[in-house]
A = this chain, B = another copy of it.
Amino acid sequence: MSLIVQKFGGTSVGSAERIKIVAERVCATRREGHDVVVVVSAMGDTTDELVSLARQVSRRPPPREMDMLLTAGERISMALLAMAIEEQGLDAASFTGSQAGIITDTDHGRAKIVDVKADRIREAIAAGKIAIVAGFQGVSTALDVTTLGRGGSDTTAVAMAAALKAYACEIYTDVDGVYTADPRIVPNARLLHVVSYEEMLEMAATGARVLTLRSVEFARNHNVPLLVRSSFSYASGTWIKEEDERMEQAIISGVTHDTSEGKITIQHVPDVPGIAAKVFRTLAQEGLNVDMIVQNVSSAGLTDISFTISRDDGERAVEIITRLIPEVKAEGVTYDDGIAKLSLIGAGMKTHPGVAADMFSALADAGVNIEMISTSSIRISCVIREADVTTAVRVVHDTFGLSEESVIRETHPR
């Protein structure tokens, strides 16, 4: 008998009807003989509604109180799920983040888990109960209620699975799993059966919305096998786990895209040491996260520095850079929010030269201009025009034959 952690997101528990369906699913797993710990998010739009209420009473809600407010959301969904499970004849008990022993730092709104003291969860399991745990929340070392920020419920689930040494952490969502590309853009995108942690990290970092970077990192660090699957179907989903010599290895796992970033270029900066450091340290100090950075080759002692940044932060970044212009002796700064980032990800890339060349050729043949390039050992990312993104994703997906399993997968020698 193994222990399985199942996490259900806001859409999966979006109504009383949906909660009953989730309860059936949880009970089925329990009846198969597994111990089950369930982690839930707040129902559907609850969090948005609570944020809206906060904005009505306060221009800048204090983070401690915002956390107190938002954690009401999971409290509702978890209690309802426990009721729905008991209605089906099995024992259940719900636990807040605090009761479940999710201990965090005191950084309200984006707290980090520092410890998991899951004694009450272990007791509930030992008593034959299905334990329901509030996602997204914890209690700080100062005994205040905290939230874990975006994707927090996934992180709770992974942390619980790690603490309880679960066989697997199943992430139930509104899609069937991880695809070779966004199926809304590429209709013949294929569901991946298995992806390594490293590949999933690159995919999450480059636009795949199915899992947050943070929860995948947590899973990798604690070696928790993840299974992403739909709460709306019984499709088998996608496993995310340690790369394994015996598993079939894909050269390329998928194509991702991201249209949430803009590009900032600092023009004609003197090509002397310290300029880039100055720019990016200042941005970091202001709390702005920069994604791709490219510095072009110098001509006549002057160079351009370009980087991408979330469009939400674009305006602030331009202001900051503008103030820096005299100091770094730049000619000016431009901001372009009409870009998209296209990425090709695959663990097999490391041992297969020529992937980048094939990708660039395919884009060129389709008339898509590449504005920036950045790579890791298992990823190639290009910045292109946002208007080209659909064409680009399709042509790259097609070039690498990602819709056909047999073509792009090879069995690794045992």
Among B19, B68, B81, B96, contact of A78 (Cβ-Cβ < 8 Å): B68
- Asked whether, in the complex, the Cβ of B86 is within 8 Å of the Cβ of A65, the reply is yes
Contact yes or no, B83 A58, CB < 8 A: yes
Question: Beta-carbon contacts of A55-88 to B below 8 Å, as 1s and 0s?
Answer: 0111111101110110111011011111110110
Are B59 and A87 neighbours in the complex by a CB distance under 8 Å?
yes
State in angstroms the CA–CA spacing of A68 and B120 once bound together.
Answer: 16
A83 to B108, CA, bound (A): 14
> Is A25 in the interface zone, CB < 8 Å from B?
no
Q: When chains A and B are docked, how far (Å) is the Cα of A66 from the Cα of B68? A: 19
Chain A contact residues, majority secondary structure? helix
| CB of A381 closer than 8 Å to a CB of B | no
The interface residues of chain B lying within 8 Å CB-to-CB of A94 are: 65, 68
Q: Does A143 contact B (CB under 8 A)?
A: yes
List the number of copies, as a whole number: 2
Q: How far is the CB of A144 from chain B (nearest CB, A)?
A: 8
Residues from chain B with a CB closer than 8 A to the CB of A80 are: 53-54, 57, 65, 69
- A19, A66, A68, A94 interface centre (most CB from chain B within 10 Å): A68
A50 with B23, Cβ < 8 A, contacts A58-B84, A87-B58 known: no
In the complex with contacts A53-B76, A53-B80, A57-B19, A86-B68 CB distance below 8 A: no
In the complex, A93 has a CB within 8 A of chain B: yes
Please name the residue on chain B nearest to A76 by beta carbon: B72
Q: Which residues of B contact A73 (CB under 8 A)?
A: 72
CA of A69 to CA of B57, assembled, Å: 24
Q: Mark A16-55, 1 if CB is under 8 A from B, else 0.
A: 1101100100000000000000000000000000100110
- Contact yes or no, A76 B69, CB < 8 A: yes
Given the complex of chains A and B, what is the CA–CA distance between A175 and B73 in angstroms? Answer: 32
Chain A residues near B (Cβ < 8 Å) = 16-17, 19-20, 23, 50, 53-54, 56-62, 64-66, 68-69, 71-73, 75-76, 78-84, 86-87, 92-94, 96, 99, 120, 143, 145
